[in-house]
Structure 1
Amino acid sequence: MAQSITAAQAGGHARSAPGIRLLGWTILAIMSAFLINNAVNIGYGTPTLAEAIGGRAASGAIVPILIYAVCLGLGAFYVLSTGTTALRTDGRRLHRFNLYLIRACFWSVLFVGIVDAAIAQMRVEHMLTLFFSEDTSRALGRSAYVGPYIHMPLVALGFVVALFTRTLGFTWLTLLIVVAELLIVFLRFVFSYEQALMGDLVRYWYAALFLFASAYTLFDEGHVRVDVFYSGFSTRKRGVVNAWGSILLGVTTCAVILAIGLNGKTAIINAPVANFEITQTGAVGMFIKYQMAAFLAIFAITMIIQFVSYLFEAVADIRDEPGHREHQPIAH
């Protein structure tokens, strides 16, 4: 694993950059506070920060203010208490955390996809009563039961498994998508058998593959780049482009996704998740539509974390600090 680099260890060449670090961690603190405030707003009806500041909150106005104050305070405390930490070290710590988050999400969708598809198949073929009681069989036909009591434990299991694995799962998830597609074709054209749940599973895994892999692909320079001038730039000029692009284009775009998707109980992400929304196929399909709405939030969150990491690396390039990641790859 790559060693951490501090300003002291680099003999002063990797100078402290508290301003940039404070900017990055402030962005993450605001995002964290927004997500926490959104959760308590939907779950317990506490006001949002805008309602509290605008005087539109009948009660509990102090709650969002405290949430933002604590998150911003923790971010500032971290920066001040680790003042000698180099930008690259901070960026790579964020990247490693993001890898864990992405890895956990991949394991979660793998477990949920397999189990929910099996339940849906038994539900369609009226086989649930062969394995479960009448009450449990009826409950497995309701998304409000399957979501919290089947899906959420599997998601938790995914986060636990991710602690002990290092593979991100892109390759395996891609293989499973291909296998699922082949199975659909084989059953449809050989046995004339098809169920809505088959298409649901493929769409579910496809969405996870593309949305969860985006942050890692950004780090790995794997996104399509329409390059006219960039490849001819020096490392410092590339750093300038990447630093400004991370803030003005990357973070702002993802912030808009979160702001629109999590703007109240009827928002396009909040509403499906809160109601465990299912597709129009109903009981003959999988109960995973609400999770696919949540994928948009996960995409925006992981991208913001990665953009802040990218910002730290870019500014380190501008300052010509040691440890450029092309020469010192990070152990995943």
Structure 2
Amino acid sequence: MHLLTTISEKIDALNEYSGRLISWLAGIMVLVFCFDVAMRYIFNVSFASVFELEWHFFAAIFLIGAGYTLKHDKHVRVDVFYGEMSAKKQAYVNLGGVLLFLLPICVVIIKTSLLFVYNSWIIRENSPDPGGLPARYIIKAFIPIGFSLLLLQGISLALKSLATILNRVNIKEHE
């Protein structure tokens, strides 16, 4: 069980680092939005590259931050029943959700996105819009990276849930 706890802790540390690293983009994204709005409404000027940059920042934050969000249990869920359950029952729900939904979906998205990203890198895909950003292939690479981090965090949650089910540790105490 110690090995599983160590693996879970390493995955948690990776997603904690990734989430904190990518979080600085949120502040920059706000500044880019403010610049875009000011240019549009004050000067009546718009730039395709600025608009695309906003979406690139959003995509990076969302994709890389998904594992971090799961680590901190901040994903949206219906807590009508879950919140009233014991820690052991919550662990069963978490383990089932991870094994039946999260891991398979992450695997499918990672697998199907690899060719998509590879083709984008091969042709050095750029924005089709005049004045758009170059190197669109870089942001597309965030798809398998982000879902890999989410997959790893799902594995960590499954390990913690298993430990709780086996009465080794409570998920909340482990974090």
Taking structure 1 as the reference length, the TM-score comes to 0.49
Match in the other structure for 1:268: 116
Match in the other structure for 1:91: 8
The C-alpha deviation readout for 1:297-323, integer Å capped at 9, x for no partner, is 11211111111111110001111213x
The C-alpha deviation readout for 1:91-114, integer Å capped at 9, x for no partner, is 1112112334x25xxxxxxxxxxx
Q: Is the 8 A contact 1:196 1:281 kept in 2?
A: yes
Indicate the RMSD between aligned Cα atoms, in angstroms. 1.9
Q: Which amino acid aligns with 1:93?
A: K
Report % sequence identity. Answer: 27
Between the two structures, name the one with larger relative contact order (CA 8 Å, sep ≥ 6): 2
Q: Which amino acid aligns with 2:59?
A: A
Tell me how far apart the structure 2 counterparts of residues 325 and 317 of structure 1 sit (CA, whole Å). 6
- The alignment status of 1:168 with 2:39, answered yes or no, reads no
Match in the other structure for 1:279: 127
Unaligned runs of 5+ in 2: none
Unaligned runs of 5+ in 1: 1-15, 17-84, 104-166
Aligned length: 175
Tell me how far apart the structure 2 counterparts of residues 232 and 325 of structure 1 sit (CA, whole Å). 15
Tell me how far apart the structure 2 counterparts of residues 191 and 223 of structure 1 sit (CA, whole Å). 39
How does 1:92-241 map onto structure 2 within 5 Å? 92-100=9-17, 102=18, 167-170=20-23, 172-241=24-93
1:192 deviates by 2.7
Match in the other structure for 1:302: 149
The C-alpha deviation readout for 1:175-230, integer Å capped at 9, x for no partner, is 21111111011122222332211111111101111111111111111011023321
The ranges of structure 1 where at least 4 consecutive aligned residues each deviate by more than 3 angstroms after the TM superposition are none
Match in the other structure for 2:168: 321
Match in the other structure for 1:246: 98
Taking structure 2 as the reference length, the TM-score comes to 0.89
Between structure 1 and structure 2, the one with the greater Rg is 1
Q: Is the 8 A contact 2:94 2:157 kept in 1?
A: yes
**Aligned-partner SS, 2:6:** helix
Tell me how far apart the structure 2 counterparts of residues 241 and 215 of structure 1 sit (CA, whole Å). 18
